């Protein structure tokens, strides 16, 4: 199956267990991998025969910032659900949600969750 990949989408949101995370917010980074049959668009060269990645990004931005969640697990699930609900062509989605500024006293690149969902 073919893939549409969105890598390192940077969004600012208010997710986290700590109260300051919900008031001050922080940066998040999202990687998305959508599996779909892209054979028709490969032949037609017509954007109407594919899933427009700009539309995926717009949707992610909307649903990811609409609410405040305690867990990044929940935020990732909301993103995966929205993609599958809004784009019939997408059969499977993988969401990796990274929190590079998590309030943990340690030297790290990021903490993350990765979920895979399918129809």
| pLDDT tens, residue by residue, 42-59 | 999 999 999 999 999 999
Chain centroid offset of residue 74 CA: 11
pLDDT band at 18 (very low <50, low <70, confident <90, very high): very high
pLDDT band at 89 (very low <50, low <70, confident <90, very high): very high
Q: Give the DSSP per-residue string, 6-33.
A: EEEEEEEE---SSHHHHHH-EEEEEEEE
Question: Considering its fold, how many domains does the chain have in total?
Answer: 1
pLDDT band at 62 (very low <50, low <70, confident <90, very high): very high
Note down the domain range covering 41: 2-118
Q: Which structure tokens are listed for 93?
A: 């989605």
Mean per-residue pLDDT of the chain: 97
Among residues 33, 68, 35, the alpha carbon closest in space to that of 50 is found at 35
- The CATH number assigned to the domain holding 23 equals 3.30.1130.10
Known catalytic residues are 99
| pLDDT tens, residue by residue, 90-105 | 999 999 999 999 999 9
């Amino acid at each position: 199956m073919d893939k549409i990949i969105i890598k390192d989408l940077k969004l600012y949101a208010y997710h986290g267990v700590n109260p300051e995370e919900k008031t001050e917010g922080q940066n998040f980074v999202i990687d998305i991998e959508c599996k779909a049959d892209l054979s028709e668009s490969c032949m037609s060269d017509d954007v109407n025969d594919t899933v427009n990645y700009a539309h995926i990004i717009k949707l992610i931005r909307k649903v990811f910032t609409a609410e405040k969640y305690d867990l990044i697990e929940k935020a990732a699930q909301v993103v995966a659900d929205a993609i599958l609900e809004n784009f019939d062509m997408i059969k499977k989605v993988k969401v990796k949600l990274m929190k590079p500024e998590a309030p943990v006293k340690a030297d790290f690149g990021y903490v993350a969750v990765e979920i895979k969902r399918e129809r």
